[in-house]
Amino acid sequence: MIIRSGVAQNALVVIAVILSGAALYWMRGIVAPLALALFMMVMIDGFARELAKRVPFLPEWAALPVALGLSALVFGLTVCAVAANAAAFGAQLFDAAPRLNAMIAGVAGLFHLQVPPTIQQLINQLNPIRYFGALAGALQTFGGGAMYVLIYVGFLLASRAGFAKKAAALYPDKHEREHATAVFDRIRNGVERYLWIQTVTGALIALLSWVLMAALNLNSAVFWAFLIFVVCYIPVVGGLIAGVLPALFALVQFVPWWPAAVLFVGLQLILFVVGSVVLPRMQQDSLNIDPVVVLLSLAFWGAIWGIIGMFLSTPLTVMGIIILAQFPGTRWIAILLSGNGEPDLDPVITPPRRALAAPEPASPDRHEAQAT
């Protein structure tokens, strides 16, 4: 006779979560690119379905290649734009060296420093040459990881035609197959809704930031707005980057310091309103995830997979909530992570509950007992 203890089951679940996290960290070189490739495949597949729906003259077979080509084109243009404007920023920083030296001297005077350092001395003290090796290694790692991701995406897209046959072989029972399909649809819809939310909020932040930067006559305001839109796909960290880099650029461009201060305060206000009011409300209503969990998942997945984990933290947590809600032993974790305490509640599709089989017919004895 086996005695089932709730405490023992919960302890096993916690141990399983810890071991799973250790395994994901140990295999991060293989699993992290695969997870990013799966995310990109879902994104490209959703883009292809939208193209097939919005563009009537586009053949159904051509929707996926067109979506893949457009995604690659946007990624290439983004890399080129960042590289070109980074070089322009370096040149402008070199031209603004005398003015920056004057600013440093003014700040040093406030602290009663007799000999203030120059911008050249500060750069020499930082010794950027010693970082070239680490930068080259990081670029090599990024290139290798990107190659792995592209290979994974290609093979995943090639093997997606056999998913239906595999699902039929894994779940011969019709009701179980429908339930598994509903769970997969919820995961896919959750990832797509996450992309939609991040796109809408990122576009809103980028538009408001562009209006503010254009009003202050900041150079390359369109580029900075586009960069803000891109980095906003990374929760929390993207907002920090978006709120600091344009202000530093303004500090280099403008002779007085007050436009940079106005830009910094304005960007922080935009990020606070959108990131702390609009975004959590949309995530709770559409993704059914607690806002505190978003921050905790960013720290957890960032510690395991680095920048890839930060980028995928919210969709991975949404997937975890949906999967954990399907099992009685782990449902309590899904309830804690969800936004409204009902992890099965989904605005798009609600999977069938435990009633997968037809109800058993009442026995004659039961009818006789009810009659008496």
Query: Can you tell me the mean pLDDT for 285-303?
Result: 81
Neighbours of 250 (CB within 10 A): 24
Separation in Å, CA 2 to CA 5, 276, 330: 9, 49, 20
Residue 42: the pLDDT is 83
Separation in Å, CA 21 to CA 70, 164, 266: 35, 30, 39
3-state DSSP assignment of residue 360: coil
Better pLDDT: 158 or 313: 313
Better pLDDT: 278 or 209: 209
Q: Quick one: tokens of 134?
A: 């680490």
Residue 372: the pLDDT is 39
User: For 25-43, how does the pLDDT look when each residue is reduced to its tens digit (9 = 90+)?
Assistant: 898 888 888 888 888 888 8
Task: Report the residue count for the chain.
Answer: 372
Q: What's the first-to-final CA gap in the chain, in angstroms?
A: 37
Q: Quick one: tokens of 15?
A: 């141990």
Contacts of 304 (CB under 8 A, 6+ apart): 21, 24, 25, 28
3-state DSSP assignment of residue 289: strand
Better pLDDT: 260 or 162: 260
Half-sphere exposure of 242 (CA within 13 A, CB side): 35
Q: In terms of Cα–Cα distance, which of 258, 260, 212, 203 is closest to 233?
A: 203
As a whole-number percent, the residues of the chain with pLDDT over 70 amount to 72
Residue 130: the pLDDT is 55
Residue 284: the pLDDT is 67
pLDDT score of 9 more than 80? no
Give φ, ψ of 141 to 5 degrees.
Answer: -65, -40
As a whole-number percent, the residues of the chain with pLDDT over 90 amount to 2
Q: Does pTM surpass 0.85?
A: no
User: For 319-348, how does the pLDDT look when each residue is reduced to its tens digit (9 = 90+)?
Assistant: 888 888 887 777 888 888 887 777 765 544
pLDDT score of 233 more than 70? yes
Better pLDDT: 365 or 87: 87
Rounded Cα distance between 38 and 291, Å, is: 24
Residue 89: the pLDDT is 64
Residue 211: the pLDDT is 92
Give φ, ψ of 357 to 5 degrees.
Answer: -105, 155
Residue 147: the pLDDT is 73
Better pLDDT: 9 or 197: 197
Q: Quick one: tokens of 160?
A: 């997606």
Contact 32, 152 (CB under 8 A): no
Asked which of 35-44, 80-89, 139-148, 238-247 is least confident by mean pLDDT, the reply is 139-148
Could you say which DSSP state residue 266 is in? Answer: H
User: For 187-215, how does the pLDDT look when each residue is reduced to its tens digit (9 = 90+)?
Assistant: 888 888 888 888 888 889 989 999 999 89
Neighbours of 154 (CB within 10 A): 13
Residue 15: the pLDDT is 85
Residue 288: the pLDDT is 77
Per-residue burial over 27-59, b if 16 or more Cβ lie within 10 Å, else e, is: ebeebbbebbbbbbbbbbbbbbeebbeeeeeee
Residue 188: the pLDDT is 82
Among 22-31, 242-251, 275-284, the range with the most confident prediction by mean pLDDT is 22-31
Residue 273: the pLDDT is 86
Residue 350: the pLDDT is 42
Half-sphere exposure of 202 (CA within 13 A, CB side): 22
Contact 176, 356 (CB under 8 A): yes
Neighbours of 339 (CB within 10 A): 21
Conformational region of residue 5, where left means phi above 0, alpha means psi within -120 to 50, and beta covers everything else = beta
pLDDT tier at 366 (50, 70, 90 boundaries)? very low
Conformational region of residue 210, where left means phi above 0, alpha means psi within -120 to 50, and beta covers everything else = alpha
The chain-wide mean pLDDT, for the chain, equals 75
Rounded Cα distance between 351 and 325, Å, is: 11
User: For 58-117, how does the pLDDT look when each residue is reduced to its tens digit (9 = 90+)?
Assistant: 887 888 888 888 887 877 777 777 667 666 666 666 666 666 666 666 666 666 666 666
